[in-house]
Structures are given as C-alpha cells and as structure tokens.
Amino acid sequence: MIRSSFLRLSRICLFPCSAFLLCWLTSISIHAQELQIYTEDWPPVSFGQGMHAEGLAVDIVQAIQAKIGSHHPIQVVPWARGYKAVLEEPNVLLFTVGRSEEREKLMILLGPVAVSSTALYTRKGNAAYLQSLGDDLQKMKVGAYRSSIFADTAQKRGFYNLELAANPHIIANMLMAKRFDLWVEGSLVVPSIMKETGHAPDDVEKVKVLDSLELYLAFSTQTAQTTVRLWENALRAIKKDGSFARIYQKWLPNETAPLQVIRLDPPATSIR
C-alpha cells in the first residue's frame, strides 16, 4: 500500500517536471534558431535612421518578416563586423551582399533584392583624361571600403593599388580631398553617399564600369534549412503579389525591379 501510494505520488510529481523540461528544451531550440539580422550603412539600400534601419533592402526584409511572423530586429553595423558574423556564426542573416563565385562557396545567397553595377568614379572633370590612359589606368590608386565586393572586383580587373577604409563615406571624402583619383563603388548608392558626405551627386563622374552586380540576402551556412526555406517562400510571395516591385519603385523609381528568385547554396564541401 505504501509502495503503491509512493508510485502514484512519483507520477504526479513527474508530470509537472516533464512539462517544465519540455518547455525548457523548446525554449532553447527556438532561441538557438533565432536569426541575428545585420545590415550596413549603405544608402539608399540600407542605412540607420535614429534607432531604426531604413532603405530599399530594409523594406524588403521587413515585408518578408511580416509574411513569416518574424520580429527579429535589424541591426546596422560596420560591414566588416557583419561579414565576419555571416562567415563564422550560426543563424546570421546579412544584407545586402554582392554575388560572386567566392561568396557562393561561403554562404547561402537568396535574391536578388537589387541590381546594380560596380564602377570606377572620379572627381568631376577628370573622367576624360583618365579614360585616355588606357591600360595605364590600372596603375592608379583606387579607393574602396574594406572587405567589399568592390575592392575584390577592382583587384580582379587588375587594379592592385588600393586604399581601403572602413566605409564608403570615408572613401568618398578622401576622393574629394584628392587623396586618390579613382573610387570603386556600386552605382546605385553613389548619389546618396555623395549627398550624405556634403557633396552634390554630380561632383563625381563615372570613368568605367567594371562589372554588373546582383545584391542578395546572405545566410550563414549554419542557419537552419527550415528558416532559409521560409524566407525563400516569402520572397517568392512578395515578388509575385507586387509588393516587392512597389518597394523597389519607391526607392529606385527609374530602375526595373528584379522579379526572379534565385537561391544559391554552397557545395557541401565548402560549408564551414
């Protein structure tokens, strides 16, 4: 009788403990899969406005979040910090990331969310002279921001004399101060960067286009496949229902929105 009562009491006590343990494990699982979402100050694609992030890509990410019920905050951080995180940490989303063969091996890319070009710029009035240099143009010093696809593209095109800085605003000011004569950057953002640094957009002019550029959302390779699939399906949905195009026209009224959806997963041997 005593033994039977003890067993019943044990079962009664076990149920609350089991429920607590299940909730605790579920909480850990959910917490482990929470996305850290990073972007950079790169107007009009993304930028900090007070305590909030704004911009073309920010609106797109928030539209996706609304579809899937995600409330993870978007953090505006230096590019180098966000890029390091997406390479080394689990459950990280960084945007926007220029697509390249190297990056296709290092992260999961989803997009495109914008289309641009990588080009060389100089101060107004210098372009004709620099264009006349031919191959000697590659000997010139080029300003670029650190760890960017623009620096990588310049090197691939034979421009090895690079002046690097933490962000494109510093580089724009250095160009205008005549620290160098060439600036490599994405064509979408040059007018906004010039305005933010106190210059007129037409204070610079294009020297040469180096490459086309597609901009993507990038997930770290240790992000759960279910999470990436949710984001992929939501991106397809907003491109299909017209909301993506409306966001694009709001920020880039003279550009055509890219409506295809591409997901690129790194080869299994490349996943960190």
Determine if residue 147 is left, alpha or beta; phi over 0 gives left, psi from -120 to 50 gives alpha, anything else beta: left
Q: At what angle do helices 243-251 and 56-68 cross, to 10 degrees?
A: 160
pLDDT for 33: 66
Q: Is the pLDDT of residue 7 over 90?
A: no
Q: Is the pLDDT of residue 3 over 90?
A: no
Distances (CA, A) of 68 to 172, 225, 229, 258: 38, 15, 11, 22
For residues 197-217, give the mean pLDDT. Answer: 98
pLDDT in tens, 67-125: 999 999 999 999 999 999 999 999 999 999 999 999 999 999 999 999 999 999 999 99
3-state SS, residue 71: coil
Element (H, E) at 209: strand 204-219
pLDDT for 6: 42
Domain boundaries, the chain: 30-114+216-270, 117-213
For residues 30-48, give the mean pLDDT. Answer: 85
Q: Is the pLDDT of residue 14 over 70?
A: no
Residue 213 neighbours by CB distance under 10 Å: 23
Q: At what angle do helices 243-251 and 225-240 cross, to 10 degrees?
A: 80
What is the rounded distance in angstroms from the CA atom of residue 112 to the CA atom of residue 198? 31
Instruction: Say how many Å lie between the first and final Cα of the chain, rounded.
Output: 59
Q: Is the pLDDT of residue 229 over 90?
A: yes
Residue-averaged pLDDT of the chain: 90
Q: Is the pLDDT of residue 199 over 50?
A: yes
Q: Whats the size of the chain, residue-wise?
A: 272
Q: Is the pLDDT of residue 268 over 80?
A: no
For residues 191-211, give the mean pLDDT. Answer: 97
For domain 117-213, give the CATH number: 3.40.190.10
Q: Is the pLDDT of residue 242 over 60?
A: yes
Q: Is the pLDDT of residue 30 over 90?
A: no
Q: Is the pLDDT of residue 182 over 70?
A: yes
CA dihedral 33, 80, 190, 220 (to 10 degrees): -30
Which two three-digit tokens encode residue 255? 């550009």
* Inter-residue contact 153 to 208 (CB < 8 Å): no
For residues 169-177, give the mean pLDDT. Answer: 98
Distances (CA, A) of 153 to 7, 80, 177, 249: 71, 17, 24, 28
Looking at the chain, the whole-number percentage of residues with pLDDT higher than 70 is 86
Residue 60 neighbours by CB distance under 10 Å: 27
Element (H, E) at 175: helix 168-176
Please tell us whether the domain made up of 30-114+216-270 is placed in CATH 3.40.50.1000.
no
Fold match, 30-114+216-270 / 117-213? yes
Residue type, position 65, single letter: Q
